[in-house]
Amino acid sequence: MSIVVTGATGHLGRHVIEQLLEKVPAGEVTAVVRDESKAADLAARGVRLAVADYNTPGTFDGLFKAGDKVLLISGNEFDKGRVQQHRVVIEAAKAAGVSLLAYTSAPGSLTAALADDHRATEEVLLSSGLPYSLLRNGWYHENYTENLAPVLAHDAVVQAAGAGRIASASRADYAAAAVAVLTGEGHENTTYELSGDEAWGFAEYAAELSRQTGKEIVYNSVSPETFTSILTGAGLPEVFAGILAGVDVSIEKGELAGTPGDLSRLTGRPTTPVAEAVAAALKG
Ligand SMILES: NC(=O)c1ccc[n+]([C@@H]2O[C@H](COP(=O)([O-])OP(=O)(O)OC[C@H]3O[C@@H](n4cnc5c(N)ncnc54)[C@H](OP(=O)(O)O)[C@@H]3O)[C@@H](O)[C@H]2O)c1
């Protein structure tokens, strides 16, 4: 029996593996990776590696064992049919008879197009009959704090979210919730709406950046169309830029502002304040 984590060499996956290693022996953890060389450090620490790709169903044959607990980290290839990719993992887990499949989904309140793949994957998982846990992750602080270069270059936070608020949390917080579910008991057939304890708006975010940098940084709220063209101008593919602008529309409607407290209840501690993520990013 193993705790198996897909997307293990991604940002969230790395946090999950790190935190798992604080709780269970390395030999009980399997990291599913596409590129073994990216996980050499994990193998050296005794983590088992399995090489598989969501696009190649055969690579998941025999990967899972009966009784495994699996974390399916959603993929990031928007153009490759993520629902089908996730189905491949769910079907392999079903064939093996795993005891839990946890999936990193999107908040139930999110109506933006970004949520479509997640809702469809949830349906596939629920109809598989597998014991499931839906980890409906809210927004990461790092979506903003790891993209500070244009903000600092122009002394402006540019978004299309009006006065909307976001209850974001750090990737490490979401990873801690996943680890609690994977290592704890009684999480079968559960849905968690995971978010930060406090919601903030972009005007406050700009004020926090001003405070920490000593510069005067303002918030410019633009239309979704303008935001899309700014993002494409910066080199983002049009489809992805449109998806991100759609998320801002959802933020303005308050769809990412919920603070039900599921995340801090699962982890037993408050979530990381966004100001801390800003400080970490500015420190480099
Ligand atoms: N809640 C949020 O704010 C937010 C923000 C961004 C993304 N997300 C979602 O949450 C997921 C995890 O976030 P993250 O920050 O860890 O993203 P990330 O760093 O981009 O990691 C994505 C992971 O998915 C793996 N992957 C992608 N396509 C795959 C395939 N065809 N087969 C096998 N593995 C594949 C990647 O493998 P490699 O390591 O080999 O590249 C990587 O490990 C993302 O993929 C996305 O679905 C959520």
The pLDDT value recorded for residue 78 is 86
Give the start-end residues of each E strand in the chain. 3-5, 29-33, 48-51, 69-72, 100-105, 132-137, 156-159, 165-166, 190-194, 200-201, 218-221
Condensed to tens digits (0 to 9), the pLDDT of residues 183-208 reads 999 999 999 999 999 999 999 999 99
For ligand 1, atom 40, name the residue with the nearest CA: 34
Mean pLDDT of the region 12-21: 98
Condensed to tens digits (0 to 9), the pLDDT of residues 145-196 reads 999 999 999 999 999 999 999 999 999 999 999 999 999 999 999 999 999 9
The pLDDT value recorded for residue 113 is 92
The pLDDT value recorded for residue 284 is 83
Condensed to tens digits (0 to 9), the pLDDT of residues 221-243 reads 999 999 999 999 999 999 999 99
Instruction: Report whether 31 contacts 47 (CB < 8 A).
Output: yes
Spatial separation of the C-alpha atoms in residues 47 and 136, rounded to whole Å: 27
Atom nearest to 74 CA in ligand 1: 47
Most distant pair of Cα atoms in the chain: their distance = 57
Beta bridge partners of 201: 165
Cβ–ligand 1 distance for 196 under 6 Å, the answer no
CA of 157 to the centre of ligand 1 (A): 25
Rounded to 10 deg, the angle between the 116-128 and 82-96 helix axes is: 20
CATH superfamily of this structure's domain 3-136+171-194+258-271: NAD(P)-binding Rossmann-like Domain (3.40.50.720)
| pTM more than 0.95 | yes
Condensed to tens digits (0 to 9), the pLDDT of residues 39-88 reads 999 999 999 999 999 999 999 999 999 999 999 999 999 888 999 999 99
Spatial separation of the C-alpha atoms in residues 198 and 278, rounded to whole Å: 15
Spatial separation of the C-alpha atoms in residues 235 and 142, rounded to whole Å: 20
CA of 207 to the centre of ligand 1 (A): 30
For ligand 1, atom 21, name the residue with the nearest CA: 10
Instruction: Report whether 193 contacts 264 (CB < 8 A).
Output: no
Residue 123 in this model has a pLDDT that exceeds 80: yes
For ligand 1, atom 2, name the residue with the nearest CA: 139
CA of 13 to the centre of ligand 1 (A): 8
Cβ–ligand 1 distance for 221 under 6 Å, the answer no
Cβ–ligand 1 distance for 9 under 6 Å, the answer yes
